[in-house]
Structure 1
Amino acid sequence: MRSSVYLSSQFRVPYSSVLQSLLCGIALCIGWVVTPQLSSAAARPNVIVLLIDDMGWADLSCFGGKRPETQNIDRLAKEGLRFTQFYVNSPICSPSRVALATGQYPHRWRITSYLNNRKSNEERGVAQWLDPAAPMLARELQRSGYATGHFGKWHMGGQRDVDDAPSIATYGFDRSLTNFEGMGPKLLPLTLRPEWTEPKRIWEDAERLGAPVTWMQRSEITGGFVKNAIQFIDEAVAAEKPFYINLWPDDVHSPFFPPLAKWGNNKRALYRSVLDSMDEQLGVLFDHIRDDASLRNNTLILLCSDNGPEFGAGNCEPFRGAKTWLYEGGVRSPLVVWGPSYLDANATGTTNDQSVLCALDLNRSLYTLCDVSLPSGIALDGEDLSRTLLGKERGTRQAPIFWRRPPDRPGFGAGFQEDNPDLSVRHGKWKYYVNYDGSDPQLYDLEMDVSEKANRAESEPSVVRELHRQVMQWNASMPQDAGNPGS
């Protein structure tokens, strides 16, 4: 909430308004002519949450990636603030998205792996779609006067044969445009390889999940989402409304179909070409915001990934694991926050490598940054780290961060020939892993061992006991899925 001065028990007025009134009164008394004007940063910010699909922690060149050079995202980071200890709340797409959208652990809503067809969802103990009763940041922003739009991958209901899921509008969005994993208007991919004479269609059955449908080259779909987001932004500005946008491209998820001019000869090369093309297409949005003074001074952009990279495609070095794994490579994500009028000037262009935070905290912090009331009668799992996000302090999450293995991802099949632990918790410098039955405890000191090579479980029994108690207690408080043999 913005700082306020209390004039009575009934009225609350921002300091800026009081100061403005006093100055105007003084001016009138002595004959000055004053035009009342608040600083642009005093307005509720426009917000764009950019959630990239299956991108590794070290894929962006501003996070150490060697190629491609992600010039547009790098410039955003140079003008903004980077966080190196940011986590998502699942190593796989649907639950990660639920956490960011709701501010609650996705396990509360029985979404613990990617949403698939009905039979598969039932077998894994996973919901068919996100319950509309879940708290939604977008819905609260919409109620408070924001124009709300979702452009890109949804994957929280409405996919394969699940064709009776709620519309995206049900969750608080004025407008949406999605891909094959969501209800409503969509962009669907045409695919093309150098040896083909004409493009092919994939996910054609998704046409029944909403209309209108536009078919376009898979290599250009991020640009399609950007174009529609910009149109929505311009309409919101014309209507004099702040806007909130989810821009969730399905890049850089496989299958990889970059432009033919950037074609590669193996999985990693194709992935990098898709990443390069995505960066170019996102640059159109960044320039649109940056080149308009009113947008530049009143917009926050938050950029991260939904989980780690597919094995053999992206890069999450020096971390262990990748997508679907509870190890750092599966759940640690790059985070960039951009907003020239909101970030502390001394933080611009710097890196915060101290603060530990997660997607739950992004959600909670946006309530404060946008000056909107929390959902009534519901406790969020995130913490308010809004000042940390703006570089005004280096706070860190106080509560532990918990994870549960997706029920269909036990390991030995996602590129690593080892078990994927069932449960995990990060608290302070420690990361602890254990199976449901208490077997194979692992403890790593992430300050000294970010690659998680030296298991300290035997030498730190008191730490193991406490973190084991916490993660078991948390897991017992959540609905179970088919991954737990005792469920």
Structure 2
Amino acid sequence: MKYFLLLFSFMAIQAADKPNILFIFSDDWGWEDLSCHGHPYVKTPNIDRLAKEGTDFYRFTVASGVCSPSRAAVVTGQFPARYSIDGHFAWVPSNAKRGMPDWLPTNAPLLQRFLQKAGYRTAHFGKWHLANNMIPDSPLPSEYGYDEYGAFNCAGEQMPYHEDSMHCIKFIEKSVAEKKPFFVNLWIHEPHTPFHTQPKYEWRFRDLPEKDRIYASVLSHADDRIGDVLDALDRLKIADNTLVIFSSDNGPARAKSDSQHRLMYDTATGAGWDVGAAMGITGGRKGWKACVYEGGIGVPFIVRWPGKVAAGKINKVSPISAVDLLPTFCELAGAKLPADYKPDGLSQVQALIGKDKETTRTKPLFWKMPNKVPASKVGGFHWVTYAVMHEDFKLLANHDLQYFELYDIVNDPMEKNDLKENKTEVAQKLLKQIKDWQAELPTEPTGDVFSSLREIK
């Protein structure tokens, strides 16, 4: 009897030591779309609070310039190209035309399942987009290892986007009552189109021009909802044992300066303003959404964990990727990874707690986008098909590797100085890494990842 009491006490202590994890993933939020990053008029006091009470990492990158691949990387810890997910999930004909599956396979290695086995309650609230609401036979989020969910851009009923924080708080309260550690994805809609404005938030920015007012108001609405969740952590007295991360799935969408904004309708979230009112900024980073220059993949990454992660600090040296989140969270949770699991990411626990002073990483990072631009027509930001970052350098190349650019990404994070003529050996080494990586990738999607709608002609 004494043995079982001791064992129970040990297990209870272990559960108490496991941090809660809240991962806030915004949609198209530009690096400078935060008042703590110097935005000229956007106000984000609640996210700013996370930065003040935590560490702001400047070298975080997502795994794609668009949403679905970035999200797949987070939950699998692997490059999305391994699942033939190179673009966003759309309706079936578009997925088929682009050589994509119709959803992320449900048997993929998944962060939330690993955490469930470690004793965590798991939930997802907000945008899904690892399938699409226009694919009615796609698996529901509940089939991916979540105890609870409320989502949009998925099959089934579409949760109103603005109810994300409400459901998140209820789940957290329930987990605390059950004395269970929790993992929550809070994947917010903002500032993706349609821009759903509300008078209360537009009034806050009433002196701005209309497009700026629209953009600032939707960010302010999102920041308020994040604040509601942070307040709940305080009220429940669990903030000190909760790791909170705020980030974005890619850089901001950006319309031409003379674009007119018009009303549009989205089948998942309803009516709102279109991309003409997109006013996101990147802090000087090159490019925008849908590219793999730093403006498309270099996004906010703010981490708060009181007493563990330094408060009020800025980290400009640690290169962290979306594929690193799975091994990082699993290490913190004491979750064991399967022996046959091959992560593309690395645990970044040492970086989070301020003990990693390195500017390099042992594994290269790769990107793949569905672009096929010949070398003779390269221009703008959206010609890149492949990119690799290793040690101090980042190389971007077109689809047949006949045109490429090379940057010292540590000393030139704005990608202003192309070094391919001066660093030919480095360029060739990185090109070979891309070729070797290409050989590992599937030529087409396989498995139970196709809708029955493909059979209808």
**TM-score scaled by length of structure 2:** 0.84
Partner of residue 322 from structure 1, selected from 275, 283, 288: 288
Aligned pairs (5 A) from 1:38-53? 43-53=17-27
Partner of residue 155 from structure 1, selected from 129, 154, 161: 129
- Post-superposition Cα deviations, 1:222-259, rounded to whole Å, max 9, x if no partner, equal 3x110111101111111111111000011110121221
Partner of residue 230 from structure 1, selected from 169, 185, 191: 169
Q: Which has the larger radius of gyration?
A: 1
| Structure 2 partner of 1:370 | 333
Answer whether contact 1:124 1:408 (CA < 8 A) is retained: no
Range with bigger deviation, 399-408 or 89-98: 399-408
| Structure 2 partner of 1:393 | 356
Answer whether contact 1:113 1:407 (CA < 8 A) is retained: no
Aligned pairs (5 A) from 1:23-422? 43-160=17-134, 162-179=135-152, 181-188=153-160, 221-222=161-162, 224-263=163-202, 265-293=209-237, 295-312=238-255, 313-343=279-309, 347-395=310-358, 396-407=360-371, 417=380, 419-422=382-385
CA distance in 2: counterparts of 1:445 and 1:380, whole angstroms = 26
> What amino acid is aligned across from residue 137 of structure 2 in structure 1?
D
Shift of 1:303: 1.1
CA distance in 2: counterparts of 1:268 and 1:429, whole angstroms = 37
> What amino acid is aligned across from residue 397 of structure 1 in structure 2?
R
Answer whether contact 2:293 2:381 (CA < 8 A) is retained: no
SS of the residue corresponding to residue 279 of structure 1 reads: helix
Range with bigger deviation, 323-332 or 267-276: 267-276
Shift of 1:336: 0.8
| Structure 1 partner of 2:429 | 466
Structure 2 vs 1, CA of residues 360 and 321 (structure 1 numbering), >3 Å: closer, same or farther?
same
Answer whether contact 1:316 1:329 (CA < 8 A) is retained: yes
Range with bigger deviation, 79-88 or 307-316: 307-316
- Post-superposition Cα deviations, 1:329-386, rounded to whole Å, max 9, x if no partner, equal 001111111111432xxx2210110001101111111110010111342211111111
Answer whether contact 2:90 2:132 (CA < 8 A) is retained: no
SS of the residue corresponding to residue 450 of structure 1 reads: coil
CA distance in 2: counterparts of 1:274 and 1:335, whole angstroms = 20
- Post-superposition Cα deviations, 1:387-425, rounded to whole Å, max 9, x if no partner, equal 2112233355321111111358999xxxx8455211111
Structure 2 vs 1, CA of residues 39 and 141 (structure 1 numbering), >3 Å: closer, same or farther?
closer
> What amino acid is aligned across from residue 233 of structure 1 in structure 2?
I
SS of the residue corresponding to residue 375 of structure 1 reads: coil
CA distance in 2: counterparts of 1:302 and 1:278, whole angstroms = 15
- Post-superposition Cα deviations, 1:419-445, rounded to whole Å, max 9, x if no partner, equal 521111111221111122222221112
SS of the residue corresponding to residue 186 of structure 1 reads: coil
CA distance in 2: counterparts of 1:349 and 1:408, whole angstroms = 43
Structure 2 vs 1, CA of residues 185 and 48 (structure 1 numbering), >3 Å: closer, same or farther?
farther
CA distance in 1: counterparts of 2:20 and 2:416, whole angstroms = 42
CA distance in 2: counterparts of 1:65 and 1:398, whole angstroms = 34
SS of the residue corresponding to residue 171 of structure 2 reads: helix
Count of aligned positions:
407
SS of the residue corresponding to residue 300 of structure 2 reads: strand
CA distance in 1: counterparts of 2:392 and 2:332, whole angstroms = 28
Answer whether contact 1:92 1:406 (CA < 8 A) is retained: no
SS of the residue corresponding to residue 303 of structure 1 reads: strand
Structure 2 vs 1, CA of residues 466 and 49 (structure 1 numbering), >3 Å: closer, same or farther?
same
CA distance in 1: counterparts of 2:373 and 2:61, whole angstroms = 19
Answer whether contact 1:80 1:349 (CA < 8 A) is retained: yes
> What amino acid is aligned across from residue 274 of structure 1 in structure 2?
V
CA distance in 2: counterparts of 1:45 and 1:87, whole angstroms = 24
- Post-superposition Cα deviations, 1:444-478, rounded to whole Å, max 9, x if no partner, equal 12233222222110111111110111112112311
SS of the residue corresponding to residue 432 of structure 1 reads: strand
Pairwise CA RMSD: 2.6
CA distance in 1: counterparts of 2:133 and 2:368, whole angstroms = 23
Could you list the runs of 5+ residues in structure 2 that have no partner in the other structure?
1-6, 203-207, 256-278, 446-457
